[in-house]
Structure 1
Amino acid sequence: MDPVRYTIAIVPLAAYLAVLGLVNCRRRPLVTSGASEIAALGIGLVGLVFVGPIELFRPELATVQFLNYVWFVLLAFYLLWVVLAAMITRPRLVIYNMTPEELRPLLSDAAGTVDATFRWAGDCLVLPKLGVQLYVDGFPLMRNTSLASSGPRQSLEGWHRLARQLRANLRSAVVRPHPPGVSLVVLAVLLIASCELQLARHSDQIAESVAEILAFGWQRS
């Protein structure tokens, strides 16, 4: 196994898992947007994409013409796709380390502060004056809750106001740490350790692997 490619693929993913695990180990909930969640996942997968699709489907003509710069162009292209996916996704809020049952009264308080005409219909919440319609969706495995838009007509400013108020209401909330978060941190540490082990075992291949990756375009020319 190529130690350099393995490290490139694993390190961003391990960092993503470590951050996700630490967030779930906190005693306070964290509110983030769906766009931020997509961006974080995209960055966490960048290493796998680099040694997978980017290297596999790299255009040979561009490699010959642009030499090593083709890597930066392809990575920039991938990151632009991540940004586009984050921008076009429907409005959504993700509350880490809090179940829907724990969130609902705090969400009602936040909704009442920004729109007194709010109303519940099952798991759906409507804020008419704010232009926000959402439904509450839980993820029991990680004890996270999503507030996803439930209609095409949504006010982005209304979502921002709701998010600000919800963050303010959750500042005093205290929750119990979620045990699977520790598992994610341990997994991240094991992945990093495996990278170090691969690099140590195949230290004689590191320079050759780096030269193969970065100088591939020069060799082709």
Structure 2
Amino acid sequence: MQKNVKTKNVFLSGALQRILLDKETKKSHHSQLKKACETALEEINAVQGNEKSTGNVSSATLPPLPGQQTFITADQYFLPFELACQTKCARIVTIALDCIQKLIAYGHIVGDTPDSIEPERRLIDRIIETICTCFTGINTDVNVQIQIIKALLTAVTSSTCEVHEGTLLQAVRTVYNIYLASKSLISQTTAKATLTQMISLVFQRMESQAKMEMKKRMIAIILNQKKSAKGGEN
């Protein structure tokens, strides 16, 4: 059985229950969100019941070690959090973003599977897009702004999910927009520090990739020279 299952379920169940109990969720126009939360909770409770019956329950709270990441992740429970982010209700959006951030931080959201809506892109692309769209301009709730920044930084620096190309650019751009547009000094300061971390990490990865490519080319050259030398001897 996968590691850190109990931690994942605590994050998921707690967040889903808080969203479900919010008075905004009980309104008729949020019926889809209500149903998605109820369905996810039913599935999680069923999984927990199965784990208890088999005795395969871990109380670990640390992220999985490299090479020991979970294969059954929280990716399948992303829909209720996506719908929560679309409500534009600051309380619900904050809960959803906080849970997404924690799940990514603990390696429970990997996002490397095809997106069920657009199979040509990965789920992590949809997750980042959902997080970014929570920032709607200068009137965005300050708590939501902070959670957006935290979630994006966690995703970009995560060792268990990979954010690349246009999705990475969208994440950086959103943090930059918060820095420019926010009226909150805390949000501006946090966004500025986050941008520095993100850009620094991107360049570190670029340099590491360049070194790896150079090493591969050198090995190829050496092998070709050896082949040529052997051919000359023959």
Higher relative contact order (CA 8 A, sep 6+): 1
Same fold (TM over 0.5): no
Q: Which has the higher strand share?
A: 1
Q: Which has the higher helix share?
A: 2
Output the TM-score relative to the length of structure 2.
0.22
